[in-house]
Structure 1
């Protein structure tokens, strides 16, 4: 019976005292009406005690009216009676509610911002930006962006940052940054030549150290010495009689420094379609919020219905609530839909050619660097195949072709 009592604890039961002539007959009649009765104790000839379920109290009262027995409820047991008792203690309930609410709010408030790995000046700059984002002491975390969003905004707004990690650890935001390395002045290089790294025709020279070995309009091949790191007169070649006493080389060894600009050539192949379809963001967006329960179940509470976008890019982030150091399976999910639209471009042959030349120049400029200049261009070959204009272009470029080569022991 003990196990049975434990099972009905959540539904509730009462201890009743029945007074009257032969009270045990009253309980027998209840049992016949399928009322569960247990722990029956006969106190005396006219008094009997037993336990019944809370849900059977109404049947007991109806039976008492028809029989004339007196009923006295001695005690109440179980969760329903306990819950009712607590509800009657409003000050206690209010205190419990305020305590839980306070702990919940404190657990979801930013109490510390820890920044490591950067200088004090950069740390102050990061703190200023975080304050603009709303990330400050006392801020409610659900109103802030996700850590990855804060990271991206910091990298975008602070050029001095190479990288920064943002982690949410309970009530603390931990940030660890890596500043961009300031390139220090290079150490003085050792003795060296400047040699050609590609073929070309010299068009200009700026030599600050070393002896020029070529002049304007000279054609050079890769590996040719452009500026020598040996300054002075070269010793004469030793004769057969002087082979045992080789003349001493008195030339001064320096680090050849300068720029040697040469005219170089490139052939570039490129193709552009006459008809092209691509997708872009229209600028329209719609944001929805939902209560998140666990990992998969959501209940929307803001932004109902379909956005109506035929094509959209969706971005979702979830912020879970915390209670003390525990992350609760309850949070808020923010979903932003960005409308995408298809753009169709129809080009004439001349427009496709112009676009192809533009793309070829852009690709070549990336290859040669922004310090180099594209002087001229010429279309060598032009075809239209499979709806595409295909070009082979010839470019002339002015670029620095000098690269360093350390002096060898034999120089």
Structure 2
């Protein structure tokens, strides 16, 4: 009995064929990146071959709008096509494992949106498949696009250069308000079986990735609290149970004796898409807010106290990460550019046959932290402080 040969990665063709699976929010963002990346960066030749979705009419309309040559409804057929070399998975998390593993086994390079999967078990299977595929020259990457914000990329450089000295602690808060209204309708993002988790996997995963990426340290312990403030939402057939969290708080221990805290909420009224990161070291500090993504605040604690204070760095000089490709200094870029940078880095890694970052292993590490926070929230002990009446300490 002979063992069937594993598919091998197709030698890089003159033009790489790309298929994107999913055409909603993330599909639109990724499509915009594929449509524009070659206009600004030196990348291998590629073609937007096919956009895949379940609704034939809707995906056909999206394909035309977003610059894809054609549309399809069966991703299994698409990954077997000889003219498709890259699979970009923009579909919801419950589909990631099945699609990614099948694509990798078919010899396709895979880019998948975060979080890697809905469960730790699925993430482990995906990472194992990616490792096997990598040995055959097949690349894979997870889409933590905030690594490609130029100001955050500059922050990582400054930390690596020692400008902050020894990093002691990091604070990250990712706050949104799109679920603040109790009457906001039920969606797949509010069901555990389809979303995996709520604010924890959706946005806290970004914060945790940034904490590890910026400091180059790894989370090795976690305590967490999860809260669901609105337990039922209006559904098509009446009220439905919300089975994921609205908000999460976590305290993280890290290698290098770094301490970190993470807060994430989708019910923070007035906060539209605010990811705030603070990094404090012995020689300086950094502040960042995604709602001002072209700016980084830096404090040099090595100068005399009379000269200290946070100074604003407008991150749009050609010397700053990624910005040599865009506009003259003083002309800012936006959130959508992070996806363009992500596609640029992925295509470059395929061309140069170098492992792209963040890898599926990086995604698996984040998944382990998410699972630890969730387990801690479920099993934590609660200590109620004993409150003494104020007058008890006073004389009669």
TM-score, normalising length: structure 1: 0.16
Higher strand share: 1
Structure of higher CA gyration radius: 1
TM-score, normalising length: structure 2: 0.17
Higher helix share: 2
